[in-house]
Amino acid sequence: MHKKKLTRTLAPLAAIIAVMLIYMAPMAFSQEDMVVVPTSDFNAPERPAAMFKHDAHNELAGLEDCVVCHHGKTDAGLIDLENSSDGESCSSCHPVKPENGATPLMRAYHLQCTTCHADALKGPVACGECHKK
Amino acid sequence: MHELYNFVSGPLAWVAGAFFVLGSIYRLVSMYILAKRKDGSSLEYMSLHYSLRSIIRWLIPFSTMGWKADPLMTVTTFAFHICFIAVAVFLSGHVVVWNTAFGFDMWSLPTQAGDIISFVVIAACAIFALRRFMLPHVKNVTKPKDWFALTLVVLPFLTGVLAYHQMGPSLLMTTLHILSGELLLALIPFTRLSHALFTVFTRAYMGSEFGAVRHTRDW
């Protein structure tokens, strides 16, 4: 009798905790803890994941404006530098093998990361500096 | 270091490419003019049929007397040339560069396979070098320009393997790798490596001479 009552109160509680955990799970891997750029979009990555401590990197590089990297997409399908897309993965607009002529994911990363470093004369530009074994 | 890398991976790559393309055209055209002046009549005898017959024949390992005479050299030569082209064009790291620079999306060798055949090229160069050291009949005809050509070829492979395996400072090794590759490309038309341009024509000439004039085979 007591047991049944206990389950009745605990079950919803457990459900709420479970939902909260599922909801929070992505936060556990949020940009604060990011140490490499995720390779999960590539189905058989050939190189070690690229070093990238999201927040520390941006602080060191003095990047305050998220839109520098997380640009949006205008209605015309062009880069939107007004509206940030942070929280959205690059691959949502840059698939690994796009069919609509978008810049493919690997090229998007290489262009964005390497061009800035080469122009800034700071930060990694050679393969082995980002894809560290 | 970044300035040097930017220069080597940017403007210098175009300069090296221009040296290769324009240099090759220059060498081929001046060789044609020379051939016409010195041996004009032989041009009349050039035959597409006998040219191709000879070229194709010599592309098959062990199908000619020349290839049968020295099996180690034959295997090394074929392995070297096939792996050289495969690495230069289809190495996965190179295909990434073609992709970033030009947006090409082309097939590449599996990364592991590319690593292995890079070592095959280096081993082949070692055999070429040992041969020049050890066999008297080769040693006697070896000139400094032969050593120079061999060094030009092996350097991009040595630095490439070091850069890929991340031995030594990455940025420096990668810069040296690109630099040595550009040196090789730019000097192909002007060194012993120009055989890459001329071999097809020497074979065509031999094939035509033997086939159309002497009515025999050149293998």
Q: Do B170 and A126 touch (CB under 8 A)?
A: yes
Q: Which of B9, B92, B175 is opposite residue A46, by nearest beta carbon?
A: B92
What pLDDT does A14 receive? 62
From residue A60, how far is each of A55, A64, B11, B31 by CA, in Å? Answer: 9, 10, 30, 58
The dihedral through the CA atoms of B208, B213, B217, B219 has a sign that is negative
Quote the tokens at residue B135.
């066999």
Alpha-carbon distances of A33 from A27, A57, A72, rounded to whole Å: 9, 12, 23
The model carries a pTM of 0.90
pLDDT in tens, A31-47: 778 999 999 999 899 99
Any CB–CB contact under 8 A between A48 and chain B? no
- Domain assignments of chain B as residue spans, ordered by start: 2-79+110-213
Nearest CA in chain B to A121: B2
Q: Domain residues for A87?
A: 33-130
- In this structure, the answer to whether residues A5 and A37 fall within a common structural domain is no
Name the closest residue on chain A to residue B168, using Cα atoms. A128
Is 70 exceeded by the pLDDT of residue A7? no
Q: Compare all CA atoms of chain A with the CA of B177 and give the residue at the minimum distance.
A: A126
| More confident site: B109 or B42 | B109
Interchain CB distance below 8 Å, A106 and B96: yes
ipTM of predicted complex = 0.85
* 8 Å CB contact between B153 and B125: yes
- pLDDT at residue A4 greater than cutoff 80: no
**Cross-chain residue pair A126–B174, CB shorter than 8 Å:** yes
Q: What is the mean pLDDT of chain B?
A: 93
**Minimum distance, in Å, between the CA of residue B180 and any CA atom of chain A:** 16
On whether any CB of chain B is under 8 Å from the CB of A96, the answer is no
CA atoms within 13 A on the CB side of B78: 13
Predicted confidence at residue A20, as pLDDT, reads 55
Query: Into how many domains does chain A fold?
Result: 2
Q: What is the DSSP string of B93-158?
A: HHHHHHHHHH--------HHHHHHHHHHHHHHHHHHHHHHHH-HHHHTT--HHHHHHHHHHHHHHH
Average pLDDT taken over every residue of chain A: 85
Report helix, strand or coil for A79: strand
Q: Which of A125, A127, A132 sits opposite B2 (nearest CB)?
A: A125
For residue A3, what pLDDT is reported?
56
**Separation between Cα atoms, residue A94 and residue B198, nearest integer Å:** 45
Same domain, yes or no, for A88 and A123? yes
- Does residue A71 carry a pLDDT above 90? yes
How far apart are alpha carbons B32 and B63 in whole angstroms? 29
For every residue of B27-84, DSSP letters joined together read HHHHHHHHHHHHHHHHHHT--HHHHHHHHHHHTSTT-SHHHHH-HHHHHHHHHHHHHH
Token look-up 């009349």 returns B44
State the smallest CA–CA distance between residue A65 and chain B in angstroms. 25
B90, B108 contact by CB (below 8 A): yes
**A31 CB-near residues (< 8 Å, 6+ apart):** A54, A55
- Nearest CB partner across the interface for B170, out of A104, A111, A129: A129
Contacts of A101 in chain B (CB under 8 A): none
- Residue carrying structure tokens 């295997």: B75
Residues A14 and A44 in one domain: no
What distances in angstroms separate CA A58 from CA A28, A33, B11, B80, B110, one per listed residue? 19, 13, 30, 46, 34
Please give the backbone phi and psi of residue A36, each rounded to the nearest 5 degrees, phi first: -135, 160
Cβ contacts below 8 Å, chain A against chain B, sum to 53
**Contact residues on chain B for A99, CB-CB shorter than 8 A:** none
Q: Which fold has domain B2-79+110-213?
A: Fumarate Reductase Cytochrome B subunit (1.20.950)
Q: Do B5 and A122 touch (CB under 8 A)?
A: no
**Cβ contact, residue pair A128, B170, below 8 Å:** yes
Testing the interface with B: which of A46, A99, A133 to mutate, by most B Cβ within 10 A?
Answer: A46
Q: Are residues A5 and A57 in the same domain?
A: no
Residue A16's pLDDT band (cuts 50, 70, 90): low
Do A69 and A8 reside in the same domain of the chain?
no
Q: What are A113's two structure tokens? A: 């990361």
Residues A13 and A42 in one domain: no
Interface probe with A: pick from B1, B2, B108, B164, most Cβ of A within 10 Å = B2
- Let me know whether A43 and A70 are in one domain: yes
**CA-based nearest residue to A126, from B140, B41, B1:** B1
Asked whether residue A48 falls in the same domain as residue A91, the answer is yes
End-to-end CA gap in chain B: 53
Q: How far is A122 from chain B (nearest CA, A)?
A: 7
Average pLDDT over residues A17-23: 53
Banded pLDDT at A24 (limits 50, 70, 90): low
Among A53-57, A87-91, B101-105, B208-212, which stretch is predicted with the lowest mean pLDDT? B208-212
Q: How confident is the model at residue A17 (pLDDT cuts 50, 70, 90)?
A: low
Is residue A94 located within the same domain as residue A122? yes
